[in-house]
Amino acid sequence: MAKFLNYRNISFTIENERYYASEISLSAQASTSAVILNDGTLLNYAPEGAVVGSLSVNFYLTGSFPSYLNITGTSESAITARFANVLITGLYPKSVNFSVEPFQPISISTDFDWYGNVSVQSFDENTDDQKANIPVPDYFANGYKSYINKKDLEGVDNVVQFSYSASCERPAFFNVEDKIPFRVAKLNKNVSCELSSNELGDLLSITGKNAVCDIVLKDLYGTTLNTFAVSGVLNSQSYKVSEGQYLLASAKIDQVVVEKKTLI
Protein backbone atom coordinates (compact mmCIF):
# COMPACT_ATOMS: atom_id res chain seq x y z
CA MET A 1 0.00 0.00 0.00
CA ALA A 2 2.41 2.64 -1.30
CA LYS A 3 -0.08 5.44 -1.95
CA PHE A 4 -3.18 7.06 -0.54
CA LEU A 5 -6.25 5.18 -1.76
CA ASN A 6 -9.27 7.25 -2.76
CA TYR A 7 -12.63 6.48 -1.11
CA ARG A 8 -14.40 6.83 -4.47
CA ASN A 9 -12.28 4.06 -5.98
CA ILE A 10 -12.63 1.47 -3.20
CA SER A 11 -15.46 -1.06 -3.28
CA PHE A 12 -16.95 -3.15 -0.48
CA THR A 13 -18.95 -6.37 -0.86
CA ILE A 14 -20.45 -8.92 1.52
CA GLU A 15 -21.22 -12.39 0.16
CA ASN A 16 -20.48 -10.98 -3.32
CA GLU A 17 -23.22 -8.36 -2.89
CA ARG A 18 -22.12 -4.76 -3.35
CA TYR A 19 -22.71 -2.30 -0.50
CA TYR A 20 -22.77 1.45 -0.92
CA ALA A 21 -20.77 2.29 2.18
CA SER A 22 -20.25 5.79 3.53
CA GLU A 23 -17.59 4.65 6.01
CA ILE A 24 -15.59 1.46 6.62
CA SER A 25 -13.28 0.76 9.55
CA LEU A 26 -11.04 -2.32 9.86
CA SER A 27 -8.83 -3.13 12.84
CA ALA A 28 -7.10 -6.03 14.60
CA GLN A 29 -6.30 -6.60 18.26
CA ALA A 30 -3.77 -9.00 19.80
CA SER A 31 -4.00 -9.98 23.47
CA THR A 32 -0.60 -10.34 25.13
CA SER A 33 0.77 -10.23 28.68
CA ALA A 34 4.23 -9.89 30.13
CA VAL A 35 5.91 -13.02 31.55
CA ILE A 36 8.06 -11.90 34.48
CA LEU A 37 10.45 -14.27 36.25
CA ASN A 38 10.88 -14.45 40.02
CA ASP A 39 14.09 -12.41 39.83
CA GLY A 40 12.12 -9.54 38.30
CA THR A 41 13.40 -9.88 34.72
CA LEU A 42 11.10 -9.89 31.71
CA LEU A 43 11.16 -13.22 29.87
CA ASN A 44 8.84 -12.32 27.00
CA TYR A 45 5.36 -11.19 26.01
CA ALA A 46 3.04 -14.18 25.63
CA PRO A 47 -0.30 -14.38 23.80
CA GLU A 48 -3.45 -14.74 25.90
CA GLY A 49 -5.83 -15.23 23.00
CA ALA A 50 -6.23 -15.21 19.26
CA VAL A 51 -5.97 -12.11 17.10
CA VAL A 52 -9.50 -10.72 16.86
CA GLY A 53 -10.44 -8.33 14.10
CA SER A 54 -13.13 -5.68 14.12
CA LEU A 55 -14.98 -4.40 11.06
CA SER A 56 -17.51 -1.55 11.11
CA VAL A 57 -19.52 -0.51 8.07
CA ASN A 58 -22.03 2.29 7.49
CA PHE A 59 -24.02 1.67 4.33
CA TYR A 60 -27.18 2.74 2.51
CA LEU A 61 -29.86 0.09 2.16
CA THR A 62 -30.61 -0.22 -1.57
CA GLY A 63 -32.61 -3.45 -1.45
CA SER A 64 -34.04 -6.00 0.95
CA PHE A 65 -32.15 -6.31 4.21
CA PRO A 66 -29.94 -9.42 3.85
CA SER A 67 -30.73 -12.40 6.08
CA TYR A 68 -27.04 -12.99 6.88
CA LEU A 69 -27.01 -9.69 8.81
CA ASN A 70 -29.89 -10.79 11.05
CA ILE A 71 -28.46 -10.40 14.56
CA THR A 72 -31.41 -12.02 16.36
CA GLY A 73 -31.63 -15.05 14.05
CA THR A 74 -30.31 -18.52 14.87
CA SER A 75 -27.64 -18.74 12.15
CA GLU A 76 -24.07 -18.58 13.48
CA SER A 77 -22.39 -19.11 10.11
CA ALA A 78 -19.39 -17.05 9.04
CA ILE A 79 -19.69 -14.79 6.01
CA THR A 80 -17.11 -13.24 3.69
CA ALA A 81 -16.47 -9.69 2.55
CA ARG A 82 -14.15 -8.01 0.09
CA PHE A 83 -12.67 -4.61 0.92
CA ALA A 84 -10.28 -2.72 -1.37
CA ASN A 85 -9.95 -5.91 -3.45
CA VAL A 86 -8.84 -7.97 -0.42
CA LEU A 87 -10.90 -10.95 0.75
CA ILE A 88 -11.92 -11.08 4.44
CA THR A 89 -13.12 -14.48 5.66
CA GLY A 90 -14.40 -15.66 9.03
CA LEU A 91 -16.63 -12.62 9.47
CA TYR A 92 -19.35 -12.67 12.18
CA PRO A 93 -21.97 -9.88 12.51
CA LYS A 94 -22.65 -8.80 16.09
CA SER A 95 -24.67 -5.56 15.91
CA VAL A 96 -26.93 -3.55 13.60
CA ASN A 97 -28.39 -0.11 14.20
CA PHE A 98 -29.97 2.77 12.29
CA SER A 99 -31.90 5.99 12.85
CA VAL A 100 -34.92 7.33 10.95
CA GLU A 101 -35.59 11.07 10.64
CA PRO A 102 -37.99 12.95 8.36
CA PHE A 103 -36.86 13.03 4.69
CA GLN A 104 -33.35 11.77 5.52
CA PRO A 105 -31.58 8.84 3.85
CA ILE A 106 -31.19 5.91 6.24
CA SER A 107 -27.65 4.74 6.96
CA ILE A 108 -27.30 1.32 8.56
CA SER A 109 -24.31 0.62 10.81
CA THR A 110 -23.07 -2.95 11.26
CA ASP A 111 -20.22 -4.28 13.41
CA PHE A 112 -18.41 -7.59 12.90
CA ASP A 113 -15.77 -9.74 14.56
CA TRP A 114 -13.40 -11.55 12.24
CA TYR A 115 -10.70 -14.20 12.56
CA GLY A 116 -7.96 -15.10 10.13
CA ASN A 117 -5.39 -13.23 8.09
CA VAL A 118 -6.06 -10.13 6.00
CA SER A 119 -3.40 -9.04 3.52
CA VAL A 120 -3.57 -5.34 4.35
CA GLN A 121 -0.50 -4.67 2.18
CA SER A 122 -2.58 -5.75 -0.82
CA PHE A 123 -5.28 -3.09 -0.44
CA ASP A 124 -5.83 -1.53 -3.84
CA GLU A 125 -8.26 0.64 -5.75
CA ASN A 126 -10.68 -0.77 -8.31
CA THR A 127 -9.43 -1.34 -11.81
CA ASP A 128 -10.77 0.79 -14.67
CA ASP A 129 -13.03 -2.11 -15.73
CA GLN A 130 -14.42 -2.44 -12.21
CA LYS A 131 -15.11 1.29 -12.04
CA ALA A 132 -16.90 1.22 -15.39
CA ASN A 133 -19.15 -1.68 -14.30
CA ILE A 134 -20.30 -0.28 -10.95
CA PRO A 135 -24.12 -0.13 -11.06
CA VAL A 136 -25.90 2.95 -9.76
CA PRO A 137 -28.77 2.06 -7.38
CA ASP A 138 -32.27 3.20 -8.34
CA TYR A 139 -33.46 3.66 -4.77
CA PHE A 140 -32.47 3.51 -1.11
CA ALA A 141 -34.20 3.52 2.26
CA ASN A 142 -35.43 6.96 3.29
CA GLY A 143 -37.33 8.52 6.18
CA TYR A 144 -39.84 10.00 3.73
CA LYS A 145 -41.79 6.72 3.47
CA SER A 146 -40.45 4.69 6.42
CA TYR A 147 -42.40 4.61 9.67
CA ILE A 148 -42.93 2.99 13.07
CA ASN A 149 -46.25 1.28 13.71
CA LYS A 150 -47.38 2.65 17.07
CA LYS A 151 -50.76 0.95 17.45
CA ASP A 152 -49.49 -1.03 20.46
CA LEU A 153 -47.54 1.88 21.97
CA GLU A 154 -50.00 3.21 24.53
CA GLY A 155 -50.12 7.02 24.73
CA VAL A 156 -47.55 7.66 21.97
CA ASP A 157 -48.70 10.35 19.55
CA ASN A 158 -46.67 11.96 16.74
CA VAL A 159 -43.26 10.26 16.37
CA VAL A 160 -40.67 12.69 14.96
CA GLN A 161 -37.64 10.41 15.15
CA PHE A 162 -36.82 6.81 16.04
CA SER A 163 -33.94 4.38 15.99
CA TYR A 164 -33.38 0.62 16.11
CA SER A 165 -30.51 -1.40 17.54
CA ALA A 166 -29.86 -5.15 17.75
CA SER A 167 -26.78 -6.74 19.29
CA CYS A 168 -25.40 -10.04 20.56
CA GLU A 169 -22.21 -11.45 22.03
CA ARG A 170 -20.02 -13.64 19.78
CA PRO A 171 -17.84 -15.89 22.00
CA ALA A 172 -15.33 -17.97 20.02
CA PHE A 173 -14.35 -21.61 20.66
CA PHE A 174 -10.96 -22.98 19.55
CA ASN A 175 -9.28 -26.34 19.26
CA VAL A 176 -6.05 -26.28 21.27
CA GLU A 177 -3.75 -26.26 18.24
CA ASP A 178 -5.75 -23.81 16.09
CA LYS A 179 -5.76 -20.04 15.62
CA ILE A 180 -9.15 -20.00 13.90
CA PRO A 181 -12.27 -20.86 15.95
CA PHE A 182 -14.37 -23.88 15.00
CA ARG A 183 -17.45 -22.07 16.28
CA VAL A 184 -18.44 -18.47 17.04
CA ALA A 185 -21.68 -18.62 18.99
CA LYS A 186 -24.51 -16.12 19.44
CA LEU A 187 -25.40 -15.26 23.03
CA ASN A 188 -27.34 -12.58 24.91
CA LYS A 189 -29.32 -11.13 22.01
CA ASN A 190 -30.90 -7.76 22.69
CA VAL A 191 -33.05 -5.34 20.71
CA SER A 192 -33.90 -1.75 21.54
CA CYS A 193 -35.96 1.02 19.99
CA GLU A 194 -35.72 4.68 20.93
CA LEU A 195 -38.24 7.27 19.81
CA SER A 196 -39.07 10.95 20.22
CA SER A 197 -42.70 12.09 20.31
CA ASN A 198 -44.83 15.03 21.38
CA GLU A 199 -46.62 12.74 23.84
CA LEU A 200 -45.98 9.43 25.61
CA GLY A 201 -49.12 9.09 27.73
CA ASP A 202 -49.01 8.26 31.43
CA LEU A 203 -45.75 8.01 33.32
CA LEU A 204 -44.43 4.46 33.38
CA SER A 205 -44.88 2.30 36.48
CA ILE A 206 -42.39 0.20 38.41
CA THR A 207 -42.83 -2.60 35.84
CA GLY A 208 -42.52 -0.28 32.85
CA LYS A 209 -44.99 -0.48 29.98
CA ASN A 210 -45.46 -3.41 27.63
CA ALA A 211 -44.65 -2.21 24.12
CA VAL A 212 -44.98 -3.82 20.69
CA CYS A 213 -44.13 -2.08 17.43
CA ASP A 214 -42.99 -2.73 13.88
CA ILE A 215 -40.41 -0.57 12.13
CA VAL A 216 -40.95 -0.51 8.38
CA LEU A 217 -38.16 0.70 6.09
CA LYS A 218 -39.23 1.86 2.63
CA ASP A 219 -37.55 3.52 -0.32
CA LEU A 220 -38.63 6.79 -1.94
CA TYR A 221 -41.15 4.93 -4.12
CA GLY A 222 -42.87 3.25 -1.16
CA THR A 223 -41.39 -0.22 -1.70
CA THR A 224 -40.98 -2.08 1.60
CA LEU A 225 -37.35 -3.11 2.08
CA ASN A 226 -37.61 -4.68 5.53
CA THR A 227 -39.70 -4.84 8.70
CA PHE A 228 -38.10 -5.01 12.15
CA ALA A 229 -40.35 -6.25 14.97
CA VAL A 230 -39.81 -5.07 18.55
CA SER A 231 -41.72 -6.62 21.46
CA GLY A 232 -40.47 -5.65 24.90
CA VAL A 233 -40.93 -3.16 27.69
CA LEU A 234 -40.83 0.63 27.63
CA ASN A 235 -38.66 1.31 30.65
CA SER A 236 -37.49 4.90 30.33
CA GLN A 237 -39.07 8.27 29.59
CA SER A 238 -37.61 11.75 29.44
CA TYR A 239 -38.91 15.22 28.59
CA LYS A 240 -36.82 18.07 27.24
CA VAL A 241 -37.42 21.61 26.03
CA SER A 242 -35.04 24.44 25.16
CA GLU A 243 -35.45 28.09 24.30
CA GLY A 244 -37.33 28.60 21.06
CA GLN A 245 -38.24 24.91 20.79
CA TYR A 246 -41.17 22.63 21.58
CA LEU A 247 -41.30 20.08 24.38
CA LEU A 248 -40.36 16.60 23.15
CA ALA A 249 -40.65 13.32 25.01
CA SER A 250 -38.21 10.44 24.50
CA ALA A 251 -38.68 6.78 25.33
CA LYS A 252 -36.73 3.55 25.03
CA ILE A 253 -38.08 0.05 24.49
CA ASP A 254 -35.85 -2.90 25.42
CA GLN A 255 -36.30 -6.52 24.36
CA VAL A 256 -34.36 -9.61 25.36
CA VAL A 257 -34.51 -12.19 22.56
CA VAL A 258 -34.76 -15.74 23.86
CA GLU A 259 -34.83 -19.08 22.05
CA LYS A 260 -37.00 -21.97 23.05
CA LYS A 261 -35.05 -25.10 23.93
CA THR A 262 -36.17 -28.48 22.71
CA LEU A 263 -35.80 -31.15 25.40
CA ILE A 264 -34.89 -34.60 24.10
Domain range list for the chain: 11-30+46-257
Beta bridge partners of 25: 56
Mean pLDDT of all residues in 31-50: 90
The proportion of the chain whose per-residue pLDDT surpasses 70, expressed as a percent, equals 97
Separation CA 23–CA 109 (nearest Å): 9
pLDDT for the residue numbered 130: 81
CA 38 to chain centre: 46
- Average pLDDT, rounded, for the chain: 91
Which pLDDT belongs to residue 261?
A: 63
Confidence of residue 131 (pLDDT cuts 50, 70, 90): confident
Inter-residue contact 59 to 105 (CB < 8 Å) = no
Residue 2 is predicted with a pLDDT of 52
54 close to 115: Cβ distance less than 8 angstroms: no
Radius of gyration of the chain (CA): 22
- What's the rounded Cα separation, in Å, for the pair 154 and 161? 17
pLDDT at 173 over 60: yes
Mean pLDDT confidence for 124-146:
87
- Of residues 2 and 205, more confidence is placed in 205
Provide mean pLDDT across the span 149-163: 90
Query: First and final CA of the chain: distance in angstroms?
Result: 55
Name the pLDDT band for 263 (thresholds 50, 70, 90). Answer: low
CB 160 within 8 A of CB 244: no
- The pLDDT of 65-81, averaged and rounded, is 94
pLDDT at 129: 84
Please tell me the predicted confidence (pLDDT) of residue 3: 78
